[in-house]
Structure 1
Amino acid sequence: MREALLNVGAALVAGIVIMILHELPKSIIYCVRSRAEWKEQPNYEQRIKRAVKDIFKLWRYVDPIGLLLCVTTYSGFSKPYMYRMKDRETNKISGFVGFITLFLIAVVNIVILRMHFIEVNLEKLTTWYFYFFYFMAYISINMFIVNLIPITTFDMGLLVAGYSPSKYFSIIKSDHTIKMILLIAVLLGLISTISGLIMSTLLVIL
């Protein structure tokens, strides 16, 4: 019972932290690159202050359904704060930053696991901080794979919008179908299986 609670609690906290770390840099990029556009509009200073205040309301990045999937399947997703698509360059930068952030979260936490727990029998570990670092790495890998799916608000969707707006409009039309395929893959455990293999490999080579 205690181990089950540790699993759920650590996955819950890790999921929230990853969602915030994943989306906050993209929101900052969006606001920074919007400054030139906003300067041409009235109440520029107030708009900047409001935008800065809004992007640091961190709970906005936590998607309830994505968090539930993080706890149950470890394959969740975050909620982007900025929904309006910007210029192509901003979309490209945001998409790459999203992927890089998830990659760095996984690598940093795997290195921590290697440094502190590699000599310990992992099956006998029941400490909360071990589970936290483990799920930070595991969920971020899962989320990286989830974001490879070309859904409009995901990182791959941003990259498609940046490189080919015409293809982006075509995935908008298929958005519902793509989401259903993703949900089926998550519920069948396909993504978590792939992530498990990647994590095992990284634990060995890092």
Structure 2
Amino acid sequence: MREALLSVGATLIAAIVIMILHELPKSIIYCVRSRAEWKAQPDYKQRIKRTVRDIFKFWKYIDPIGVLLCVTTYSGFSKPYMYRMKDRKTNKIAGYAGFVILILIAAVSMLILKTNFIAVNIKEVTAINDVRTILVPFYFVYFMAFVSINMIFINMIPISTFDMGLLIAGYSPSKYFSIIKNDHNIKLILLFTVLLGIVSAISSLIMDTVLAIL
């Protein structure tokens, strides 16, 4: 029971950290790339200050439903900063950045696990201080890897606010408007694949394979 609670807690923290790390760079890209456009507006300096202040409010990137899905299925999603990018190149950069960040999180986490920097033998963990100092870091790093891999697949689904949606907006605005029209149906497909455990099963296979190769 204690281990189960620690596992849930570690998953929760890992999901929140991944959501922030995933969305913050995209928000910074939006802010930097939009400066030239904003310079033509009379409230340029105020808008820059307001946007910078807003994008560093980390709690805005935490999606409650996404967190719940991460804890229950390990397959969740973050809440993007509600920017409106008119420049196609900015959409492309942000979309690719989102995928790169998730891949880096997964890669670094798996390397930590593989190098046994955080290793644990659950049968030997008995004292409460051992559980807190050994088992919690192990679970945290493990779920950082697992949840981030799941999020990579989640963001491949063409939903308007996801990374794939940004890439579609960058390459084909007409197709982007098409996925906006079908946004409800696409989200149902997303929920269906997550609840059936399809995403987690694929991610688990990939993670086990990569760890075996490393």
1:9 offset after TM fit, Å?
0.2
Q: Give TM-score, length-normalised by structure 2.
A: 0.92
Q: Distance in 2 between matches of 1:168 and 1:155?
A: 12
* Partner residue, 1:79: 79
The aligned residue for residue 180 of structure 2 is 172
1:149 to 141, 152, 157: 157
Q: Which residue in the other structure is 1:27 paired with? A: 27
* 3-state SS of 2:161 partner: coil
Partner of 2:101: 101
CA distance in 1, matches of 2:170, 2:124: 47
Once the two structures are TM-superposed, the CA of residue 139 in structure 1 deviates from its matched residue by: 0.1
Query: Quick one: structure 1 residues 133 and 155, their matched pair in 2 at CA, closer, same or farther if it must change by over 3 Å?
Result: same
Inter-CA distance 124–152: structure 2 relative to 1 (3 Å threshold): farther
2:137 matched to 1:129?
A: yes
The structural deviation recorded for 1:122 is 6.7
The amino acid across from 1:155 in the alignment is: D
TM-score with structure 1 setting the length: 0.96
Are the counterparts in 2 of residues 83 and 153 from structure 1 also a CA contact under 8 Å? no
* Structure 1 residues 19 and 123, CA gap change in structure 2 (3 angstroms): farther
| CA distance in 1: counterparts of 2:86 and 2:41, whole angstroms | 16
Aligned equivalents of 1:50, 1:118: Cα separation in 2: 41
1:189 shift after superposition: 0.3
- TM-fit CA distance, 1:205: 2.0
Inter-CA distance 173–123: structure 2 relative to 1 (3 Å threshold): farther
Native 8 Å contact 2:119 2:138 kept in 1:
no
Aligned partner of 2:128 in structure 1 is: none
Which residue in the other structure is 2:193 paired with? 185
Q: Which ranges in structure 1 are unaligned for 5 or more consecutive residues?
A: none
Stretches (4+) displaced over 4 A: 117-126
Distance in structure 2 (CA, Å) of the matches to 1:116 and 1:200: 15
Q: Deviations over 1:128-176 (max 9, x none)?
A: 0000000000000000000000000000000000000111111111110
- Give the paired residue count: 206
| Unpaired segments ≥5 residues, structure 2 | 126-130
Closer, same or farther in 2 for the Cα pair 1:137/1:11, shift >3 Å?
same
Match of 1:63 in 2: 63
